A and B are shown apart, each in its own frame.
Chain A
Amino acid sequence: MTGARKLRIGFMPLVDAAALIVAVDKGFAKAEGLEIELVREASWSNIRDKLAIGHFDAAHLLTPMTIASTLGLGHVKVPFVAPVSLATNGNAITLSPALFEELGQIAGQELENPAISAQALGALVRRREAQGLEPLTFGMTFPFSTHNYQLRYWMAEGGIDPDRDLRLVVLPPPFMTESLREGHVDGFCVGAPWSSVAVDAGLGVILHFGCEIFPRAPEKVLALRASSVETDPQLALALVRAIAAAAEFVEDAGARGEVASILAKEERLAVDAKLITRTLEGRMIVNAAGDQRQATDYLVIRRDGGCRPNVRHAAWLYAQMLRWGQARYSLDHLSAAQGVMRHDLYDAVVGEASWSPEPIGAFAGPAFEGGDLPSYLRAFPIGEKI
């Protein structure tokens, strides 16, 4: 390659941007002949629009949002593609200490099993309705996000219709803790490190890790405009190589301290490195008493084929959009959604084609078989049918 190729890439300050940030700050991108300027953004909408109009060459983006933009759901249709995944899992559902306490009393036992906590939440929602109290309010980060789907799936297993029985509101992650303090929300689902920020402030209790709702939720991808990949596939391949190498480094337990200090910097996440280390280790402090819980899959970056874009994941995400009335069903949409996941580009340079990953899974409900979306959706008592 002659001279470094200059790129601008947008990101949100979250731990699940680790592979992208490390690719740039630890020299993996440079080794591929890429000179990347990372631009920290304030909202997912900004990232999407700047990628769409060409201000960004690529972006750290919510996987469901990448699909929504491609299908033109709720917004202008701009086809994006994902040649590499940046993260699987990484979210947590956090409640106000008062709500956590109340659910515990209703359940009469530990709340670690989401089936039990969902039932307790359902009972509480019905009780509040009977008493004429305001419905509970939960925050999440974007309509097209796994955070939204995690909350809805969990609530619906407790007999709650999330559009009717309580309020779900979009909240920017930096406002989540403050909203708990002010009582604007009773709980939220958010990516790391924001649940830990609420726990450390004594304002939140982590109820569930995202991976306890869905064991392998497709969280973030590196998104590019489909048109730019058509005209310059070599660029996408160079990005895949850089990110896959960086992801390998992020997963190395011996490098955690260094990764945490790279991410913690002022111009990256600007949070305490300790919070980042906890997330990378999957060893989370869940309440003000300092109790810890661990899940090795709390956040998956590279392991188990984590970087490879997965067509089945796109179908599953499309099914969640259908279930909650965000999309209308068509086979064209289904195949367009699947077409976002450009595993062909990934396989061309990384070569894990034979890997068959674990399904996304869920703590309850029907198994997702892939193609037959109508019967998958019919199996849920709550949600739209097609």
Chain B
Amino acid sequence: MKIVIVDENPARAAILEEGLREAGFQDVERLGEMHNLLKRIYAIDPDVILIDLENPSRDVLEQMFQVSRAVRRPVAMFVDQSDAASIEASVDAGVSAYIVDGLKKERIKSILDLCVSRFNAFSRLQDELARAKSDLEDRKAVDRAKGILMTSKKLTEEQAYAALRSAAMREKKKIAEVARAIITAAELLK
């Protein structure tokens, strides 16, 4: 079975490809460049096309439903109307599958389930990354604010941190927010 992954996010596409290979699907190709998409898909002639839902090119794939002379094989979106939960899961995860008509439903179902879990794993990973990044930025802001307090008010590091913390508690804000306010104020007063 030939599978094409259409995704402009190379990291996510790689994670999905890896999952498919582990599950025994060896014939997987990734398309990350959207120009002339349909032409390239026809050249590959896949049985299954997987596409992320943030991709505007999803509408390009819909053209394959048309009974026209330009289309060689009839294609359908994978939707099993008896299984609303799996459609919802795939929309929630942000992925959609198009299949050549006539493929066994059970085989596609396992591919779609795999997509859903890999897409979800990917977005969890991204959330964690984003959180780690903002934690790091918070820490940097607190360090800078401490430095400002230490030089301008002649405080030790512990005293500077204690001042930040008590201001945060008083104003019901995060320490990082107070730190950013101090940095902004210091820049204005320069």
Contacts and interface: CB of A to CB of B under 8 A. Distances in A.
A53 B53 contact: no
B123 interface: no
B63 A50 contact: no
B70 interface: yes
Interface in A4-55: 42-46, 49-50, 53, 55
A76 B38 CA distance: 22
B125 to A, nearest CB: 22
A355 interface: no
Given A76-B81, A167-B70, A46 B62 contact: no
Contacts of A175: 34-35, 56-57
A74 B96 contact: no
Given A143-B63, A179-B35, A45 B58 contact: yes
Interface residues of A, number: 31
Contact of B59 (A74, A142, A163, A179): A142
B136 interface: no
A39 to B, nearest CB: 12
Contacts of A184: 35-36
Contacts of A49: 87, 91, 96
Contact of B60 (A50, A75, A169): A169
B104 interface: no
B68 interface: yes
A235 interface: no
A45 B77 CA distance: 10
B69 interface: yes
A172 B67 contact: no
B43 interface: no
A381 interface: no
A326 B66 contact: yes
Contacts of B35: 175, 178-179, 182, 184
A143 B56 contact: no
Contacts of B61: 45
Interface in A161-208: 163-164, 167, 169-175, 178-179, 182, 184
Contact of A42 (B36, B53, B62): B53
Interface of A: 42-46, 49-50, 53, 55, 74-76, 141-143, 163-164, 167, 169-175, 178-179, 182, 184, 325-326
